[in-house]
């Protein structure tokens, strides 16, 4: 696989000013194309675009040059009442499948099929940026929350981040607008914080009780104490930023008081915020259910009264199987999206 950027490998270099224009202003698709007048030698082919009517998300199905399917999601939130937003977020994949095997995640069910190289990761953002422009938006955030465990593919993911931050050859994104979600790979988290201290880190914790964490995140390396120490080190390296702790809430599994107490104890002394994620059910795996909303809110309130900043995630693209944990090339191929999905705008270079 090729992880390098070789001089001139992506046609015309963006000037700092042009990159600034691309991301600080609303831009039209024409401007986008002008900035990327010579599109990079594309290694991904866009096979399908599906727009979600319900959630304002667009799922892109992309094919690699060796015929593997990957998925990237462009989120187009409407903003808060009275404060509409014209921003967009790209949720990118770092691997094909995943080796961690979380039992609630569609990608985990595929097993590990391969790593994406830095070009393939960067290109997802490229397509997402173009789609955002077509929807009258500018792409502002990139989250590594698609398929795969990014820190199991550290070298290529770090090279892609470097390029996303680069205003001359990349998109010139602000580091704080990139978030990498990981199950907690200590070495990778520390290297990321050393090289890119501004890039936000999110840790998929799911349980602060050892047996339950082993069940929900089977192949995570290291115990919870090591993870706490790693987060403390990231806090020192990052100065101000908070590390997000992600908790997918599963009814009757990790949502009782005992689990909430353990989470509060885990957070003690760390600069962390908690993101409670409603579980997205996977067709064919209805054994688990999401924690009902009133309980989610009660958990959030308990955490807040313990002084922990807490948010409850809004999920995008559920009707497309494009929400967190629902991405899997295999799954999408065998299960067409629901009737509310419709083809999105056509990309100019779509074959």
Active site residues: 71, 324
- Least Å distance between CB 215 and ligand SAH? 13
CB of 243 to ligand SAH, least distance (A): 12
Residue 124: contacted member of ligand SF4, ligand SAH, none (CB under 5 to 8 Å, by partner type)? none
- Least distance to ligand SAH, CB of residue 313, Å: 8
Shortest Cβ 278–ligand SAH spacing (Å): 7
Count the residues of the shown chain that bind ligand SF4, applying the rule CB under 6 A. Answer: 12
CB-closest chain residue to ligand SF4: 108
Site for ligand SF4 in 188-207 (CB under 6 A): 204
- Contact between 149 and ligand SF4 (CB under 6 A)? yes
Of 52, 69, 107, 135, which lies in the binding site for ligand SF4, with binding defined by CB under 6 A?
Answer: 107
Question: CB neighbours (10 Å) of residue 244?
Answer: 20
- According to CB under 6 A, which one of 44, 62, 91, 108 is a site residue for ligand SF4? 108
Please choose, out of 13-21, 95-103, 255-263, 296-304, the segment that lies near ligand SF4 by the rule CB under 6 A: 95-103
Shortest reach from residue 133's CB to ligand SAH, in Å: 25
Calculate Rg over the CA atoms of the chain. Answer: 19
165 binds ligand SF4 (CB under 6 A): no
HSE-up of residue 78 (Cα within 13 Å, Cβ side): 7
For residues 55 and 149, which CB has a smaller minimum distance to ligand SF4 in the complex?
149
Binding residues for ligand SAH (CB under 6 A): 98, 104-105, 145, 149, 181-183, 204, 246, 248, 277, 279-280, 282, 324-325
Query: What residue 246 binds from ligand SAH, ligand SF4, none (CB within 5 to 8 A, per partner kind)?
Result: ligand SAH
Measured between alpha carbons, how far is 294 from 255 in angstroms, rounded to an integer?
12
Q: Which among ligand SF4, ligand SAH, none contacts residue 277 (Cβ within 5 to 8 A by kind)?
A: ligand SAH
Indicate which of ligand SF4, ligand SAH, none lies near residue 120 (CB less than 5 to 8 Å, by partner kind): none
Q: Which residue, among 322, 328, 350, has the nearest Cα to 45 in the 3D structure?
A: 350
**Residue 108: CB minimum distance to ligand SF4, A:** 3
* Site track 323-342 with ligand SF4 (rule: CB under 6 A), x = hit: --x-----------------
Phi then psi dihedrals of residue 130, to 5 deg: -65, -45
Contact between 91 and ligand SF4 by CB under 6 A: the answer reads no
User: Considering the rule CB under 6 A, would residue 100 count as an interface residue with ligand SF4?
Assistant: yes
Taking CB under 6 A as the binding criterion, the range among 71-79, 98-106, 122-130, 169-177 that sits at the site for ligand SF4 is 98-106
3-state secondary structure the chain: CCCCCCCCCCCCCCCHHHHHHHHHCCCCHHHHHHHCCCCCCCCCEEEEEEEECCCCEEEEEEECCCCCEEEEEEECCCEECCEECCEEEEECCCEEECCCCCCCCHHHHHCEEEECCHHHHHHHHHHHHHHHHHCCCEEEEEEECCCCCHHHHHHHHHHHHHHHHCCCCCCCCCHHHEEEEECCCHHHHHHHHHHCCCCEEEEECCCCCHHHHHHHCCCCCCCHHHHHHHHHHHHHHHCCCCEEEEEEEECCCCCCHHHHHHHHHHHCCCCEEEEEEECCCECCECCCCECCHHHHHHHHHHHHHCCCEEEECCCCCHHHCCCCCCCCHHHHHHCCCCCCEEECCCCCCCC
What are the residues binding ligand SF4 (CB under 6 A)?
98, 100-102, 105, 107-108, 148-149, 183, 204, 325
């Amino acid at each position: 696989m090729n992880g390098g950027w070789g001089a001139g490998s992506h046609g015309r270099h963006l000037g700092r000013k042009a990159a600034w224009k691309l991301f600080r202003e609303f831009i039209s698709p024409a401007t986008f194309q002008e900035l990327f007048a010579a599109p990079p030698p594309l290694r991904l082919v866009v096979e399908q675009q599906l727009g979600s009517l319900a959630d304002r998300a667009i799922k892109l199905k992309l094919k690699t040059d060796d015929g593997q399917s990957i998925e990237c999601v462009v989120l187009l939130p409407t903003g808060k009442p009275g404060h509409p937003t014209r921003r967009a977020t790209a949720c990118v994949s770092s691997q094909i499948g995943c080796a961690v095997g979380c039992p609630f995640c569609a990608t985990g069910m595929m097993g590990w099929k391969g790593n994406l190289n830095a070009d393939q990761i960067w290109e997802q953002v490229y397509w997402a940026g173009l789609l955002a422009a077509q929807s009258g938006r500018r792409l502002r955030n990139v989250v590594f929350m698609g398929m795969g465990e990014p820190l199991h593919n550290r070298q290529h993911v770090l090279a892609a981040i470097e390029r996303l931050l680069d205003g001359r050859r990349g998109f010139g994104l602000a580091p704080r607008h990139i978030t990498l979600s990981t199950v907690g790979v200590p070495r990778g988290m520390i290297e990321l914080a050393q090289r890119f201290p501004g890039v936000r880190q999110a840790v998929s914790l799911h349980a602060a009780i050892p047996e339950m964490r082993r069940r929900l995140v089977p192949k995570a390396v290291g115990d919870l104490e090591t993870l706490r120490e790693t987060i403390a080190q990231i806090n020192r390296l990052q100065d101000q930023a908070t590390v997000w702790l992600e908790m997918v809430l599963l009814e009757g599994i990790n949502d009782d008081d005992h689990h909430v107490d353990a989470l509060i104890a885990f957070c003690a002394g760390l600069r962390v915020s908690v993101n409670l994620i409603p579980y997205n059910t996977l067709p064919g795996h209805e054994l688990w259910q999401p924690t009902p909303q009133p309980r989610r809110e009660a958990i959030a309130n308990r955490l807040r009264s313990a002084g922990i900043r807490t948010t409850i995630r809004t999920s995008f693209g559920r009707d497309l199987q494009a929400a967190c944990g629902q991405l899997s090339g295999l799954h999408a191929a065998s299960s067409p999206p629901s009737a509310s999905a419709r083809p999105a705008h056509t990309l100019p270079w779509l074959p």
